[in-house]
Amino acid sequence: MKKRILWLIGITLCVVVPISFAASKEVEIQVLKALDFGTIKAAPVDGSISLSPSQPPLVTTTGGVFAVSGGARKSCRVKIKGQKDTLVYLDLQPRTQLVSAQGKTLELDLTINEPVRNLGRSGVITDVFIGGTLNVDANAQAGDYSGDFVITVDYQ
């Protein structure tokens, strides 16, 4: 029986959808850094790689997934601009699917560093970090995987 080693290269994700509210409560969302798991290597055993929602991210792996040194692993960093001195709740869809050019998929569970924030006197926050856990099954195909997710800004 041959051993199969899987290389997942350049897994990048971070497309956010701006959501507008009533004219007095509009919000702008800008991606400052994309979520990037870098290059990983996987054995024929289920596993995962997690990036904490911080900068620099804490990287952990489980099962048959290994982080290859030199990878550019980054949590996603987002800028949110809205109504000054307003409390907002930031919500992510909990899971998204990444797709390769060949149509293969991987599941990504998302996390955010602080879901309840105050936009403050400037009406801008630039330290919103998004991380996640990429679930890699034993039969995953090597390649570049990408996807998107929605972040919702709810004024309190």
Residue range 67-78, pLDDT digits in tens? 887 667 899 999
Residue that the structure tokens 């929605």 belong to: 150
Is the pLDDT confidence value at 4 over 60? no
Residues 6+ apart with CB under 8 A from 22: none
Residues 6+ apart with CB under 8 A from 53: 75, 76, 111, 112, 113, 129, 130, 131, 132
Instruction: Give the pLDDT confidence score for residue 66 in this predicted structure.
Output: 87
pLDDT tier at 156, thresholds 50, 70, 90: confident
Report CA dihedral (134, 148, 151, 61) to the nearest 10 degrees.
10
Lowest-pLDDT choice from 17-21, 31-35, 100-104:
17-21
pLDDT tier at 84, thresholds 50, 70, 90: very high
* Mean predicted confidence (pLDDT) in 109-114: 95
pLDDT tier at 13, thresholds 50, 70, 90: very low
Count CA atoms closer than 13 A to 154's CA, side-chain side. Answer: 9
pLDDT tier at 111, thresholds 50, 70, 90: very high
Q: Are 149 and 19 in contact (CB under 8 A)?
A: no
Instruction: Return the higher-pLDDT residue of 46 and 17.
Output: 46
Instruction: Give the pLDDT confidence score for residue 70 in this predicted structure.
Output: 64
pLDDT tier at 6, thresholds 50, 70, 90: very low
Instruction: Return the higher-pLDDT residue of 23 and 50.
Output: 50
